[in-house]
Amino acid sequence: MTPILPGATIGFLGGGQLGRMTAFAARSMGYDIQVLDPDAACAARAVASRTITAPFDDIAAAVELAKSCDVVTLEIEQIHPDVLDAVAEHTALRPGRAPVYIIQDRIRQKEWLHAQGFPLGAFVAAASAADVEAAVREHGACIAKSTHGGYDGRGQVRLREPEQAADAWEALGGRTCLVEKMVSIDYEISVMVARRPGGEMAVYPPSRNHHTSGILTWAVIPAVIAPEMSEKAQSLASAITERIGIVGLLAVECFVTTEGELLVNELAPRPHNTYHHSERGLATSQFEQLVRAVCDLPLGSTEVHAPSAIVNLLGEVWLQHEPPHTTHALQVPGSRLHLYGKAGARGGRKMGHLSAVGESAQQALGRVLESYRRLS
């Protein structure tokens, strides 16, 4: 296989913040960037030589992108399978259709993980409100999730009682949905894995993640957890990556239950919010690693150079105080501000993040939380 060398053009299906940050990394390495996104004002536009504005099911537009790129990657899994096929006919598509197809439907993803024998919490594919009700009767508190397009806790409804099933079914649009038993979580971690076309892999140390109402608040690395749990999570993530045969990145989100069990929550075939600190504290950022993987270059070291942490900046920060107190926030030692260039703050919208490095995970997290406190 011949590597795709600097000077070549990388295409992105999706031009949100993940595409933007990957595009920055690719630009640093001398690649040219083209982006396809439904939003003409998408975050990656500022980094791209060309932005094609089209929905993710527009085959003609995707073919146009593919024809002018040496490789096409993606920053979002909700790309129509026919579009993935069309792109693959014209250029290298990495990750390819097969892993993305499995991952983009929550039920298909869970059933695949289950069939491969990976550890999961109890789940049911519900085809009616009655199925949802039966799941809650059997398992107690549950979360119903729409099969497609949910993110940051959107497209999810939490249920305690069987009587809530009809409303939950309605709220998710009256369509087949995934119902999961509510797991008793001790803590959440994720593991990022990179894989080249020939199968070489690089596994990152786990990140410890904290969510509020289904949306990531902070993430820190190294995760201060038992070393055996770290190793177990890394082997689990590597095994999934190998089995699904992805080229690029695979983020594996995990729960560690109050019983000490390690369960897979969900997969993402792309850069992940819980590894934004890799840009600060790790030898190779997830963004550079994606570029290396899809261009078939040697993968970078995943060594931790400095403990690092991030806090997400949602639209609420701007709604509370416009403009936020950037100068105060940046007085915190080791802190950095990352904004995605999005116009229009809305509640729950990811506008950017703060990061910090420190002597320890605790110090990095303390610093980034302090920086956040000073911002608004």
Among 38, 119, 197, 214, binds ligand ADP (CB under 6 A): 214
Indicate the length of the chain as a whole number.
376
> Quick one: three-class SS letters along 204-217?
CCCEEEEEECCEEE
DSSP 225-270: S-HHHHHHHHHHHHHHHHHHT-SEEEEEEEEEETTS-EEEEEEESS
Instruction: List for the chain the helix, strand, coil content (%; round to 5).
Output: 35, 30, 35
103 within 8 A of 80, measured Cβ to Cβ: no
E-state strands within the chain: 9-13, 32-37, 50-53, 71-74, 92-93, 123-126, 142-146, 156-159, 177-181, 185-195, 201-203, 207-212, 215-221, 248-257, 262-268, 308-314, 335-339, 350-357
Nearer to ligand ADP, 17 or 51 (CB): 17
Instruction: Work out how close the CB of 180 gets to ligand ADP at its nearest, in angstroms, rounded to a whole number.
Output: 4
Tell me how far, at minimum, the Cβ of 160 lies from ligand ADP, in Å.
Answer: 13
Q: Which amino acid is at 312?
A: N
Q: How far is CA 94 from the centre of its chain?
A: 16
180 is in an annotated binding site: yes
Under rule CB under 6 A, residue 206 binds ligand ADP: no
- Asked whether 268 and 77 are in contact (CB, 8 A), the reply is yes
Nearer to ligand ADP, 99 or 150 (CB): 150
Kindly state whether residue 143 participates in binding ligand ADP, applying the rule CB under 6 A. yes
- Verify binding: residue 151, ligand ADP, rule CB under 6 A: yes
Residue selected from 211, 243, 338, 349 as contacting ligand ADP according to rule CB under 6 A? 211
Q: Does 24 bind ligand ADP (CB under 6 A)?
A: no
Q: Which of 150, 205, 307, 324 binds ligand ADP (CB under 6 A)?
A: 150
**Which span sits near ligand ADP by CB under 6 A: 145-153, 303-311, 345-353, 357-365?**
145-153
Is residue 300 within the footprint of ligand ADP (CB under 6 A)? no
Tokens of 309: 């942490």
CA distance linking residue 322 with residue 79, whole number of Å: 35
Which among 66-74, 147-155, 325-333, 335-343 is the span making contact with ligand ADP, rule CB under 6 A? 147-155
Rounded least distance, CB 204 to ligand ADP, Å: 18
Q: How far is the CB of 266 from Mg ion (least distance, A)?
A: 5
Q: Out of ligand ADP, Mg ion, none, which partner does residue 37 contact, by CB within 5 to 8 A per kind?
A: none
In the list ligand ADP, Mg ion, none, the entry touching 185 (Cβ below 5 to 8 angstroms by class) is ligand ADP
Contact residues toward Mg ion (CB under 5 A) are 253
For ligand ADP, the binding residue among 121, 205, 206, 300 (CB under 6 A) is 121
174 known member of a binding site: no
Please list every residue from 44 through 63 that binds ligand ADP, using CB under 6 A. Answer: none
Rounded to whole angstroms, the Cα distance separating 153 from 136 reads 19
Measured from the CB of residue 219, what is the shortest distance to ligand ADP in angstroms? 11
Residue 68 or 78: the one with the smaller Cβ distance to ligand ADP is: 78
In order of 102, 173, 189, 262, 364, the CA distances from 229 in angstroms are 27, 38, 10, 8, 22
How many Å apart are CA 7 and CA 237, to the nearest integer?
A: 32
Query: In whole angstroms, how close is the CB of 195 to ligand ADP at the nearest point?
Result: 22
Give the total of residues touching ligand ADP (CB under 6 A). 16
Q: Applying CB under 6 A, does 253 fall inside the site for ligand ADP?
A: yes
Q: Least distance (Å) from ligand ADP to the CB of residue 272?
A: 10
**Shortest CB 183 distance to Mg ion, Å:** 13
Give the integer Cα–Cα distance in Å for 272 and 158.
24
Torsion over CA of 266, 312, 153 and 290, rounded to 10 degrees?
Answer: -30
**What is the rounded CA–CA span in Å between residue 136 and residue 158?**
10
Annotated binding-site residues for ATP read 106, 145, 150-156, 180-183, 188, 211, 265-266
Name the binding residues: 106, 145, 150-156, 180-183, 188, 211, 265-266
The site for ligand ADP (CB under 6 A) is made up of 121, 143, 150-153, 180, 182-183, 185, 188, 211, 214, 253, 265-266
